[in-house]
């Protein structure tokens, strides 16, 4: 464990707002010891020269990275490569996403994640199960033969398999009865609506019944119409609904990101939905499917978008420099709000005494300049 040190002369974003100038962060790995205008004089210090320092980013939807894919190579070694590829880009906590897969792939992925999580590290916060209970007409890049209808027996089986490892599950609300939803609610997982044709009324009922979230807002769901307000309007209106959004310049128009943020405020958060972080252009073979990367954008054989190739840091940068989101809102969308969904703000997603020293230093153009994971610099 490294000795204690001080970060001084930075613009400190604590997860919800910027602190007044003059504060320093005292770190004793793995935690923050204090945030104070009067740091101890005997400790070594690092001068941030006015750069922004913020909590490490939190991503609730990571499909892959570094040439590895959660649902294709469900091994501990593969998962560590994915985790490290995102850590270098400033994501210090994440959910690895298990998309619609063969049953054995899902079980292997959960088992591998449990092995990593038993080491009590904050980098892997758990799993996001995206499928198999999705509407085939909104399957996106999911492999249709693996989609399944939610029966009580199957839901109980998946619930037992997932245990404490799964934190979020994406489902199509229109496929569920209230009784079947109750089986999932008993797990304490976050229920998220996605890949759905849900009407406004069906979506409101889902959120009233305990659904907390929506998966990649605007994508694989009906668009808002005057006489058919649909799930998007329900997400906007329902104060219990939060939503992730992919800010990569391709999945969602910047004006739609601005509108969603203006309407939802701190209920909106960023996800990368990254599958191909670091992937070069060309063909990508993903299980039974072949995708094509071009200019950093991935398409399936039907020409539909299939995951992204961005990191959370790129999403934050895009929101600030291209989408017109304030720096405070953009940073909160990548830190405190996703941490609150995980009920983890006691140790991640903000900067204060006692939390893990997961931090990013951002330059003038909002590029990542330094990453600290549990107080240790990441190379």
Annotated binding site: 130, 195, 216
| Residues of each annotated binding site for Zn(2+) | 130, 195, 216
Query: Which residue has tokens 């009865």?
Result: 177
Catalytic residue selected from 273, 295, 302, 346: 273
CA distances (Å), origin 347, targets 31, 79, 186, 336, 358: 9, 23, 25, 11, 9
Half-sphere exposure of residue 195: CA atoms within 13 angstroms, side-chain side = 25
Residue of 194, 291, 216 whose CA lies nearest to 62 = 216
Is residue 266 part of the annotated active site? The answer reads: no
Q: What is the DSSP string of 102-171?
A: -HHHHHHHHHHHHHHHTT--SSEEEEEEE-SS--GGG-TTS-GGG-----HHHHHHHHHHHTTTEEEEEE
Per-residue exposure over 288-327, b if at least 16 CB sit within 10 Å of its own CB, e if not: eeebebeebbbebeeeebbbbbbbbbbbbbbbbeebebeb
Active site residues: 273
């Amino acid at each position: 464990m490294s000795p204690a040190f001080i970060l001084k002369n930075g613009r400190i974003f604590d997860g919800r707002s910027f602190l007044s100038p003059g504060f320093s962060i005292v770190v004793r790995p793995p935690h923050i010891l204090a945030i104070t205008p009067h740091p101890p004089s005997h400790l070594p210090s690092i001068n941030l020269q006015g750069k922004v320092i913020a909590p490490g980013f939190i991503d609730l939807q990571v499909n892959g990275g570094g040439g590895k894919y959660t649902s294709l190579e469900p091994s501990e070694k593969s998962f560590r490569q994915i985790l490290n590829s995102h850590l270098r880009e400033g994501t210090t906590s994440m959910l690895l996403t298990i998309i619609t897969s063969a049953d054995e792939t899902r079980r292997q992925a959960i088992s591998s994640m449990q092995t990593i999580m038993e080491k009590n590290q904050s980098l892997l916060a758990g799993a996001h199960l995206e499928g198999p209970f999705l509407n085939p007409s909104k399957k996106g890049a999911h492999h249709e033969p693996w989609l399944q209808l939610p029966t009580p027996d199957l839901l109980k089986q998946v619930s037992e398999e997932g245990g404490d490892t799964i934190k979020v599950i994406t489902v199509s609300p229109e496929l569920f009865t209230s009784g079947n939803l109750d089986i999932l609610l008993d797990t304490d997982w976050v229920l998220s609506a996605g890949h759905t044709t849900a009407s406004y009324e069906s979506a409101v009922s889902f959120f009233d019944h305990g659904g907390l979230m929506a998966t990649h807002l605007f994508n694989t769901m009906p668009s808002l119409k005057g006489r058919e307000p649909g799930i998007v309007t329900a997400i906007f209106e329902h104060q219990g609904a939060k939503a992730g959004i992919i800010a990569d310049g391709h999945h969602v128009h910047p004006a739609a990101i601005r509108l969603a943020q203006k309407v939802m405020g701190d209920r909106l958060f960023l996800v990368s939905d990254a599958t191909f972080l670091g992937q070069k252009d060309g063909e990508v073979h993903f299980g039974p499917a072949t995708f094509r990367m071009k200019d950093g954008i991935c398409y399936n054989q039907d020409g539909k978008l299939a995951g992204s190739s961005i990191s959370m840091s790129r999403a934050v940068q895009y929101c600030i420099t291209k989408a017109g989101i304030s720096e405070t809102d953009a940073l909160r969308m990548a830190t405190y709000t996703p941490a609150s969904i995980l009920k983890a703000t006691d140790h991640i997603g903000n900067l204060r005494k006692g939390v893990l020293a997961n931090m990013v230093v951002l330059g003038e153009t909002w590029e990542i300049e330094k990453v600290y994971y549990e107080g240790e610099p990441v190379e």
